[in-house]
Amino acid sequence: MTAAELAGRFAGLGAAGWGYVPYAALEQAMDSAARQKAQALCPGAAGVLVAAFPYFAGLRPGNLPLYARGLDYHLELPWRLDLLCADLARAYPGRMFHAGTDSSPLPEREAARQAGLGLMGRNGLIILPPYGSWIFLGTILTDQPLDLPRQAPSGPCMGCGRCIAACPAGALTEEGFAAERCLSHLTQKKGELPPEQAAAVARHPYIWGCDLCQTVCPYNARPARTGIPAFFQGLIDRLTPGDLESLTNRQFQQQYGQRAFAWRGPAVLRRNFALQAGQKTE
């Protein structure tokens, strides 16, 4: 399958861009466990296709990050990528093509960088103009060597430092990223939080996740909007304590199970609401 044919197929699936990287180029970015998982999934792995799917639907007030307001991308991207996997399997009989979205052992962001798909932001997110960093990444791992032109790896962002200044908990610094301080991580973390982390969540304008480093990014000043209906229709911008009141775990999943913010269940959301209301959680 030629580069032009792949470009047409990716565009038809809603991707804003795509690239290819030999599997060997990613191995240094993978620990031994990830390499073992990748080889178990696809023995003799030869290459990785990586694609970016935009999700920006406008900046609207709310207490949820933009990526979690539409349908969970873990539900939307796999079927799109599986369609291309089926096309590739017909083109290359006997070869393996495995789609991945987060659950893959592959380092998706590094794959995107190595494939020349987008700039690497200081927050670790891939930036693809004109969509900015409002993109989801998906990969296809294959044992079929693909004769595709190799793009030069992408460079870093402009390094303006606005994301560092905007990070409310100091997770972003000139030295790098501290995941244990990131409010996106803390608002999804289960159980009771240590006092310093609890105080950070209590001050946070989001009830789950965080977009603050993205909203100040110059590359996100005027982003193009997504054309994927699942990411701009039926959005949930805000949750309130009343939305969760008296819901059992099953009822919560029935109502919100197709949203990314539901994967941890209602307990972490209730804890975050309690912290923001100044209540003590157990």
Is 80 exceeded by the pLDDT of residue 245? yes
pLDDT in tens, 246-271: 899 999 999 999 999 999 999 999 99
Residue 214 is predicted with a pLDDT of 96
Is 60 exceeded by the pLDDT of residue 4? yes
Confidence of residue 158 (pLDDT cuts 50, 70, 90): very high
- Say whether 102 is catalytic: yes
Each residue of 165-200: b (16+ CB within 10 Å) or e? ebbbbebbeeeeeeeebbbbbbbbbeeebeeebbeb
Is 80 exceeded by the pLDDT of residue 282? no
Overall size of the chain counted in residues: 282
* Nearest Cα residue to 230 out of 60, 54, 88, 38: 54
Other CB atoms within 10 A of residue 29 CB: 14
User: Which residue out of 102, 143, 147, 211 is catalytically annotated?
Assistant: 102
Is 60 exceeded by the pLDDT of residue 280? no
Cα–Cα distances (Å) from 84 to 5, 120, 151, in that order, read 11, 26, 21
Alpha helices in 144-229 (DSSP H): 162-166, 183-186, 195-203, 212-215
What is the distance between the alpha carbons of residues 166 and 146, in angstroms, rounded to a whole number?
42
Domain boundaries, the chain: 3-142, 162-218+234-276
Q: CA angle 50-52-53, nearest 5°?
A: 135
What is the distance between the alpha carbons of residues 112 and 94, in angstroms, rounded to a whole number?
27
Other CB atoms within 10 A of residue 61 CB: 6
Other CB atoms within 10 A of residue 232 CB: 18
Output the average pLDDT for the chain.
Answer: 95
Is 60 exceeded by the pLDDT of residue 190? yes
Please confirm whether the linkage preceding 130 is cis (ω < 30° from 0): yes
Pairing type for strands 47-54 and 97-100 reads unpaired
pLDDT in tens, 42-69: 999 999 999 999 999 999 999 999 999 9
* Nearest Cα residue to 121 out of 152, 166, 158, 169: 158
Residue 103 is predicted with a pLDDT of 80
Cα–Cα distances (Å) from 165 to 132, 134, 162, 174, 213, in that order, read 19, 20, 5, 10, 8
